[in-house]
Amino acid sequence: MACHQRSASLPFIPHSTESKVEVELQGLQTCISSPSATIGTMCSGLRRLGDIYSSVEEIMSLPSNQIGLSLPLQRKMVEEELDRSLVLVDLCNAMQESLAELKASIQDLQLALKRGDAAAVQLKIESFVRLAKKAQKPFKKITSGKATAQGCGTVRLLAEARGMAVSLLESASPLLLKQIGVASGSRWSLVSQRFQKKRVVCEANGVAGLENGVESLFRRLIQSRVSLLNILSS
């Protein structure tokens, strides 16, 4: 992106690698904040974020960078980022539980559709809505994950990735509701059974995609924390 401005970083961070990560983060932010963003956008975003974490891992693995992160001032920043990343670990756990509940709800909905029970379908949709809204509650208790300007390159990139992860997870539940068409207020009992089934298939795919994406993000996050802990203990 031509207008992208690179923040100052410590000399031991490779310019090209850091710049690449910053561009990826900026591009990802543009995608997920678009009014036309969909569940597919969020699933793709989670995969892209996993690649970003991999790139930051490469930066952290450089011997000169490991030495720099062990210095007193940078060590303090690393420890603070480790503490803050626990919030994201908890969010990933909460999101995985919510997605498991949503997947079970969709399976119940599919059975109701198969039986042609309109009343049961409506009840299952209402149950799905409650679960999707419940998934949004953990995000009301957290603050912005933006990085501080004075942070060293690696820690700043981790903080920005963390903030991006929170934004992705937070945006998922409202889009699930939008995708299934509940936000419009239309009662499913008035929608054709064929269209109902199509919506539910879409929703099932969306939940499965998010489930895979969150699981992958969780693994990347744990690996990142392990790498930082190893640097501090070396």
CB 100 within 8 A of CB 214: no
* Whole-model pTM over 0.75: yes
The domains of the chain are located at: 38-233
C-alpha to C-alpha distance for 28 and 45, rounded to whole angstroms? 7
CA distances from 157 to 28, 97, 214 (A): 14, 28, 20
Torsional class of 181: left (φ above 0), alpha (ψ -120 to 50), beta (otherwise): left
Q: What is the dihedral of CA 187, 193, 196, 202, to 10 degrees?
A: 180
What are the pLDDT digits (tens) for 57-114? 888 888 888 888 888 888 888 899 999 999 999 999 999 999 999 999 999 999 988 8
pLDDT the model gives residue 15: 54
Question: Residue 6 has which token pair?
Answer: 């690179």
pLDDT the model gives residue 152: 67
C-alpha to C-alpha distance for 44 and 216, rounded to whole angstroms? 12
Taking residues 149-168, what's their average pLDDT? 83
Question: Residue 105 has which token pair?
Answer: 């709800």
For the chain, give the percent of residues with pLDDT over 70: 83
DSSP 146: P
Type of residue at 134: K
CA angle 11, 55, 36 (to 5 degrees): 120
Question: Residue 163 has which token pair?
Answer: 């903030």
CA distances from 221 to 22, 81, 158 (A): 18, 12, 10
CB 152 within 8 A of CB 10: yes
What are the pLDDT digits (tens) for 166-220? 999 999 988 888 877 654 445 555 456 666 788 888 889 999 999 999 999 999 9
Torsional class of 142: left (φ above 0), alpha (ψ -120 to 50), beta (otherwise): beta
Question: Residue 145 has which token pair?
Answer: 């994950």
C-alpha to C-alpha distance for 44 and 105, rounded to whole angstroms? 24
pLDDT the model gives residue 211: 95
Q: What is the dihedral of CA 107, 113, 119, 125, to 10 degrees?
A: 40
